[in-house]
Structure 1
Amino acid sequence: MPLLASLHDPADLAGAVVTPDGTLSRHELLGLAGGMAGQIAGAPIVAVEAVPGLPTIVAVTGALLAGVPIVPIPPDAGDLERDHILRDSGATLIRPTMRAGSVPPPVQGDGPALVLYTSGTTGAPKGVVISRDAIAADLDALAAAWQWTAADTLVHGLPLYHVHGLVLGVLGPLRLGSRLVHTHRPTPAAYARTAGTMYFGVPTVWSRIAADPAAARSLARARLLVSGSAPLPVPVFDRLAALTGQAPVERYGMTETLITVSARAGGERRPGHVGLPLAGVTTRLADESGAPLPADAFDGETIGHLQVKGPTLLDGYLRDGGVRAPDLIDGWYPTGDVATIGPDGWHRIVGRASTDLIKTGGYRVGAGEVEDALLLHPAVREAAVVGVAHPDLGEQITAFVVADPVSPAELTDFVAQRLAVHKRPRVVHLVDSLPRNGMGKVQKTLLTAG
């Protein structure tokens, strides 16, 4: 089946893609994408400035029709980042045109579809090569998990240069045949006024919607609210459930693996957890050396390094004009995240091993658990917890908190009353804001820099 199967459906679909800058039927999009494909046919790789709107959707669709890998560049990338991406990928920057052309025959076989650049939190951004087959396998698995069909209307305003907004949010509807309404920005007002059956958001989006009761209640008409790209705080989960009448569906993935774990549309939705592996995906926990932990570690409490295996993994990273295969451990991809897995298979993501697993006084503490406890305090609006080097403890649990007037000592005591005493933050910094990237993830390395 072609990657963008629904575009080749002989039955047209009016309003298949709707954005503030225009509306396209299925056949109109196919024609414009065909025109784009004709312009770039034979190119080794191209790039597009992924501004929200129809031109980006047409450019990416055209590249996939032509079988040409495409690199979406964040529109707010600075000159250094943009130059690095273009130089590293060797891609030619294209200017999307909106002229119809002949539709090429469907691309046969597998091959690279997208090169997505990581956020570069540990160095220069890396180009992750994702294949056509990996995207197809992931979207089909999500369709089964979320009961996602052509009858759905997906609404979101996420950026068009990440897995969440582009692969799931654009290519998903184009493969499965559902309508897409992209709001350009994921604001509570935009979501509230746009009718849909599915809504995608990152935790920052859902936090803002939960703080706007009228907007949240308007989403009660939907059948699925999906949260991803970062852990959803439990208080936000609970408030959304109360206001909309349904708990959000959380899922887990990363650029290199696409989406691998999710709650199910027809099953339980558990706060603080991301669900079960998708069809075709297997997971395991490993120790510091990468060796698998024994079966009794699947108790929901033991923290281990999460490894995944399945058809959605990357082909590799761009390196010196070629693709370097990822460093796998006996076929398993080490995600760099730490997690727990319960006896029933449910996964809880503790966070990044480098920043969210705190080793303090002989204990292993997940930063997210402490953050969730802090967010239960009525004065706290945002919280980020990190480990800071300490001569006695090894690492000291340190919290950065955005809050209404409250004392650091009160917050420390508040956590100590709800979690084990050794999990309390030893230091609390009250700050005006937390540094975040374009997907709403807190940049914890910036909190401790300098």
Structure 2
Amino acid sequence: MDVKAIRQQFPILNQEVNGHPLVYLDSSATSQKPLPVIEAVNAYYRQDNSNVHRGVHTLGTRATDKYEGAREKVRRFIGANSTAEVIFTRGTTTAINTVAYSYARANLTAGDEIVITPMEHHSNIIPWQQAAKATGATLKYIPLQPDGTLALDDVRDTITTNTKVVAVTHVSNVLGTINPIKEIAAIAHENEAVIVVDGAQGAPHMKVDVKDLDCDFYAFSGHKMCAPTGIGVLYGKRDHLEAMEPVEFGGEMIDFVNLYDSTWKELPWKFEGGTPIIAGAIGLGAAIDFLNEVGMDNITANEQKLADYAMKQLRTIDGISIFGPDKRAGLVTFNLDEVHPHDTATVLDAEGIAVRAGHHCAQPLMRWLDVTATARASFYLYNTEKDIDRLVEGLLKTKEYFGDVF
């Protein structure tokens, strides 16, 4: 994997921030965009800008072909059976909310259980809190092991015959924990529950085969995998999606509209009310082409190498706490003792190093870790060991700057 050549495809990385070459270590929040994606979106607006599915003129046909072509690329990327199972959304949050509203509220009653984990992003907690309140269902949590992983014995103990929905992240955006989705799905299905997977940190970084995982729903965002913001995907098994009602009503998703009743289009369009995110979908298709050319296995291997190197180098710093398991995805979350992570991130930014600081939309997990916030360095296909060396140098400067507290 030629990271130097890959970096040349990301023009934003070729700049200085605060007088230093930019080191971007915040890809878990949003990834940077390569030239093929930028050019694909630009080409749509320059040459093909039109609405889709509605017109018979040339621009409309070209736009529709590119939009639906992107859906087919997504289908292949995640191994879905049909493009009917690929719903374009605004992102992971919208996708999970669609399932929590349309599927959960129609299928849950008092006494049923929704099972999630304390490591979830707020977008995979709040929708289920609201679904539980609306239906009378009970929200339950699978306990975490001390290192922030899940034990399958705990999964089996928490999921019961009353469980109807299991919602779990593929990869924790704080801990880097890679959850055993296939095994959890099997336990859920043994109890006749469906499993909803938050793939926001999974799909950009590793091969995903939804049939092999046997997940019922899988949600992810384009902007974390080199695509534009505002585009995401909800995968759902066809029988579930067929039985679900749309959550947005209006143009594009209708079949026939009468004065007092209406019918819906077939999948996937019944869930895509209004003018869709056309340029975003086209950009997502271009991003998938780019990632496939690099190779998802290569991306995974490079990130794991970087994560291992980062853990080794960070542990040479006195007074640092690292959160999460040793075996992890491509991110490291940490705190310098007695230094607020916002202060750490501010000093790093002065050195041209971009990391994320805060609760990472995971306040229950912060409380489990017994911290108010953390700093996080997250890696992607354009990062190198030199970036991690710069991070370590920046953290040593941070310690020097706040030396009076050590």
Does the alignment reach a TM-score above 0.5? no
Task: Quickly name the TM-score band, shorter chain normalised.
Answer: 0.3 to 0.5
Q: Quick one: higher RCO (CA 8 Å, sep 6+), 1 or 2?
A: 2
- TM (norm. structure 1) is 0.32
More strand by share: 1
